[in-house]
């Protein structure tokens, strides 16, 4: 049996807003640091600093949640409690 990995969180994401929020919650349960980056204009996973492979998926999650700037991030955070952990 294989040990769960943070990438398992992405398996059930098909582009829907609520699925994107669940992915963020799942990633946080794995201890991943997720934050809004003003320069990138999207959610960023802390590990992107040394593993840029997650950038594309984080862009898709941001898009599904309607996040494109600090204001839309704060709206999504209030709606889905993205910073709950």
pLDDT digits (tens, 9 = 90+) for 24-70: 999 999 999 999 999 999 999 999 989 899 999 999 999 999 999 99
Domains of the chain: which residue ranges?
A: 33-85
- pLDDT for 20 equals 98
Alpha carbons within 13 A on the beta-carbon side of 22: 12
Predicted local distance difference test score (pLDDT) of residue 8:
96
Q: Is the pLDDT of residue 85 over 80?
A: no
pTM of the complete model: 0.91
Spatial CA neighbour of 85 closest among 34, 16, 11, 17:
34
């Amino acid at each position: 049996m294989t040990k769960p990995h943070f990438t398992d969180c992405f398996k059930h994401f098909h582009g829907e807003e609520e699925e994107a929020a669940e992915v963020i919650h799942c990633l946080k349960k794995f201890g991943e640091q997720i934050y809004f980056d003003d320069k990138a204009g999207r959610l960023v996973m802390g590990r992107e600093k040394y593993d840029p492979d997650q950038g594309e998926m984080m862009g898709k999650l941001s898009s599904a949640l309607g996040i494109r700037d600090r204001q839309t991030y704060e709206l999504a955070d209030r709606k889905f409690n993205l910073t709950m952990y």
